[in-house]
Structure 1
Amino acid sequence: MKSKEKFADEFLNQVSAKPLSDITIKGLCDESGLSRKTFYNNFDSFADLMNFTNIYVNRYVWSAFSKNSQKANTLTDIIKIFPVALYENRDKLKVMYTSDLRGRWLKYLHDKYHDWAMENVFKDYHSDKMPKEMACFIFCQSLISALDYWISSPIPDKPEIFSQYLLTIMATAPFDIPKL
């Protein structure tokens, strides 16, 4: 394991157990067995480590998603494939969704997957009812919120079950929710 990944793993370990404000570079170095010099050879700052951690955790998901989405012909196929990659990495993802990293993580996900959705899902979207950008934003936020709920659950449903929930969300217009 490379030093960057070792620091990221130790960072995830610590942030799952204590507030972000209690984590120090010294503590990360002590627990990882790596020196401060090694830390600063890999990162410019603590914030740089946090940014890398987003990329590091997402790398496994994005790799599995990219590989499998090439085999998919429809959005439905992708929705059936994507939760498997997430489920396989749920321990790291749960830390990202339930710790002090949550806000940064959600922004990172939205930025990353919004761009993908604009290029792939909404490429040919045209509607008089809603602008393309708004439709893509709502789509991404809906998926990210559903994933947040799922991964944050004490015992997440199996990917096959969760895929069906996602398909239901995608088939339900935002205003089809029952009126109070």
Structure 2
Amino acid sequence: MFKHSQNQLVTQSQQRISQAMMKLLATEPFAELTVTQICQEAEVGRRTFYRNFDDKMDVIAFYLYDEMQRERKANRPADLSEAMQKAFVFIYHHQETFKLLDLNDLLPQLQRIIKNLIQNHINELENKLHAMGIEDKIAYYVNFTANTIYSNIELWVGSDFKESPDEIAQLTVNFLSGLRVAKPNCN
């Protein structure tokens, strides 16, 4: 996993490397990209690469995490509905990146990032789960939430963003809120 750092120089190196990878990914398949190519594009040495990342997949994880964190800090949501709306608007505005990730089978990296973002709000979740009497099941809640969000993103990207960001956000909120579908009246 990439290293989280408060050091601005470290973060700048990570951002240069991830931006270089995304630029190269627009012209070459992920499987064919080499660390050397990425380093040359980012104008950093291999030591800098490996000081910050374990491998190329780690760079993708950082890129997604960094972009989402930046957006989240700029627009802190008030509740789940607003968080989903902002997340899906963000994805919609970066749809070329998400299509590129999907094309290279890299979208599953997003699932790991979503779990990390949810873990960042663990205190909030613990309070809610404690009120429900299930605080010892937080890992299940995090997993369910991350998988629901990821699955909707994956389908949305695969459908070429057929629904609007607001529609897919509301659908996701409904799922996460325990949407109950009434049985049709057969009378």
| TM-score past 0.5 threshold | yes
Match of 1:62 in 2: 69
TM-score, normalised relative to structure 1:
0.69
1:116 to 112, 120, 134: 120
Count of equivalent residues: 169
In the alignment, the residues of structure 2 paired with residue 77 and residue 104 of structure 1 have an alpha-carbon distance, to the nearest angstrom, of: 23
In the alignment, the residues of structure 2 paired with residue 113 and residue 79 of structure 1 have an alpha-carbon distance, to the nearest angstrom, of: 13
Give 1:54's aligned amino acid: A
Structure 2 unaligned regions, length at least 5: 1-11
2:45 to 16, 23, 39: 39
Question: Which stretch of the first structure deviates more once superposed, 156-165 or 17-26?
Answer: 17-26
Match of 1:23 in 2: 33
Match of 1:52 in 2: 59
In the alignment, the residues of structure 1 paired with residue 91 and residue 126 of structure 2 have an alpha-carbon distance, to the nearest angstrom, of: 23
In the alignment, the residues of structure 2 paired with residue 162 and residue 93 of structure 1 have an alpha-carbon distance, to the nearest angstrom, of: 15
Give 1:93's aligned amino acid: F
Give 1:55's aligned amino acid: F
Match of 2:139 in 1: 133
What SS does the corresponding residue of 1:141 show, helix, strand or coil?
helix
- Cα distance 1:139–1:86, how it changes in 2: closer, same or farther (>3 A)? same
Percent identical residues: 14
In the alignment, the residues of structure 1 paired with residue 110 and residue 163 of structure 2 have an alpha-carbon distance, to the nearest angstrom, of: 22
1:101 to 93, 101, 106: 106
CA contact (8 A) 2:26 2:100 kept: yes
CA contact (8 A) 1:79 1:163 kept: yes
Q: CA deviation at 1:44?
A: 1.4
What SS does the corresponding residue of 2:50 show, helix, strand or coil?
coil
Q: CA deviation at 1:163?
A: 1.8
- Cα distance 1:141–1:123, how it changes in 2: closer, same or farther (>3 A)? farther
Output the aligned Cα RMSD: 3.4
CA contact (8 A) 2:98 2:107 kept: no
Q: CA deviation at 1:67?
A: 3.1
Give 1:131's aligned amino acid: K
Q: CA deviation at 1:109?
A: 3.0
CA contact (8 A) 2:17 2:38 kept: yes
Match of 2:174 in 1: 168
CA contact (8 A) 1:114 1:137 kept: no
Give 2:138's aligned amino acid: K
TM-score, normalised relative to structure 2:
0.67
- Cα distance 1:150–1:177, how it changes in 2: closer, same or farther (>3 A)? farther
